[in-house]
Amino acid sequence: MVVATAKLRAETANVIRMSGVRFVWPGRDAFSLAVDAFSLPAAKRILLIGPSGSGKSTFLSLICGIIAPQTGEIDILGTDITKLAASARDGFRAEHFGIIFQIFNLLPYGTVIDNVLLPLSFAPMRRKRATTNGRAEDEAVRLLTCLGLEPHLTRGPSAANLSVGQQQRVAAARALIGSPEIIVADEPTSALDRNRQEAFLDLLFTQVSDAGATLIMVSHDETLAGRFDEVIRLETIAISGRGGRR
């Protein structure tokens, strides 16, 4: 990891660089995705737009190292994750990614704090960063407060009773804890109404820039475009298809 960090400083330009990537889901009539060349500069806010079925989930799974392409390189923070073993990719994801889903982000039976602290179990470096100023629990409370979750809910016994908006804030705190370099948000606001959407994004943006992280947000809602540094249409960087290898 020391090597990776050194390398990262050497080529600060890109957090993500993909070249010659080909991926086909197993099975007949399978969905395939190809990315010939793509790079993403650090500390930016990116909006990734694509209609449903365009391969957004596959694209994100590739970046996060959940799936590995059949061919090609995916360079994240100076590490080619396609060269890593599956379990090493899982560890890499734990250390460097914070992920927010569209809905159902939380383990409903766990406490709010436990939900926020969950990634630290898999990421020793993030745990170290989260505990530099005290206990990890305190850092979780700080993030939740910054993200606008009411204090009495922060210490609440269960995440199950929270509203969708509150759940998304907890999910954002989980993604941000321990300051991972990349935050991936898969349509995090689609279940919120317009006002809440704006408020959520405001808080998320503040925290992401405080942490100096890169935000990749996926949406099909182009009205959000103005708030991002860059808007990327998936179809301009990736070719998707159905029905075996090309």
Partner 1 sequence: MIVLRLALQSLRNRWLAALLTVIAIAVSITLLLGVEKVRTGARQSFADTISGTDLIVGARSGAIQLLLYSVFRIGNATNNITWTSLQDIASRPEVAWIVPLSLGDSHRGFRVLGTTADYFTHYKYRQAHGLVFAAGKPFSDLFDAVVGADVAATLGYKVGDPIVVSHGLGAVSFVEHDDKPFRVSGILERTGTPVDRTVHVSLEAIEAIHVDWQSGGRIPGQSVTAAQVRQMDLSPKAVSAVLVGLKSRLATFRLQRAINEYAAEPLSAILPGAALQELWGLVGTAETALKVVSVMVVATALLGMVTMILTTLNERRREMAILRSVGARPRTILGLLMAEAGVLTLAGVGLGVVLLYAALMLLRPYVDATYGLHLPIEPPAPPEMTTLAFIAVAGCIAGLLPALRAYRLSLVDGMMIRT
| Residues contributing to the site for partner 1 (CB under 8 A) | 57, 60-61, 64, 66-67, 86-87, 90-91, 93-95, 99, 101-110, 114, 117-123, 174, 186
**Nearer to partner 1 (CB atom), residue 122 or residue 230:** 122
Comparing CB distances to partner 1, the nearer of 103 and 146 is: 103
The residue among 49 and 60 lying less far from partner 1, judged by its C-beta, is 60
Residue 73 or 114: the one with the smaller Cβ distance to partner 1 is 114
Q: Which two tokens stand for residue 94?
A: 């734990």
- Three state DSSP letters for the chain: CHHHHHHHHHCCCEEEEEEEEEEECCCCCCEEEEEEEEEEECCCEEEEECCCCCCHHHHHHHHHCCCCCCEEEEEECCEEHHHCCHHHHHHHHHHHEEEECCCCCCCCCCCHHHHHHHHHHCCHHHHHHHCCCCCHHHHHHHHHHHCCCCHHHHCCCCHHHCCHHHHHHHHHHHHHCCCCCEEEEECCCCCCCHHHHHHHHHHHHHHHHHHCCEEEEEECCHHHHHHCCEEEEHHHHEEEEECCCC
Q: How many CB atoms neighbour CB 65 within 10 A?
A: 23
Q: How far is the CB of 197 from partner 1 (least distance, A)?
A: 20
Largest Cα–Cα separation, the chain: 55
Least distance to partner 1 from the beta carbon of 184, Å? Answer: 9
Residue 152 beta carbon to partner 1: minimum distance, rounded to whole angstroms = 21
Which of 124, 241 has the CB closer to partner 1? 124
121 neighbors 132 (Cβ within 8 angstroms):
no
CB of 58 to partner 1, least distance (A): 9
Separation of alpha carbons 20 and 32, rounded Å: 13
Query: Would you say 17 or 93 has its CB closer to partner 1?
Result: 93
Measured from the CB atom, the residue of 34 and 177 that comes closer to partner 1 is 177
Least distance to partner 1, CB of residue 182, Å: 13
Q: Name the minimum Å distance from CB 162 to partner 1.
A: 15
Nearest distance from C-beta of residue 25 to partner 1, angstroms: 9
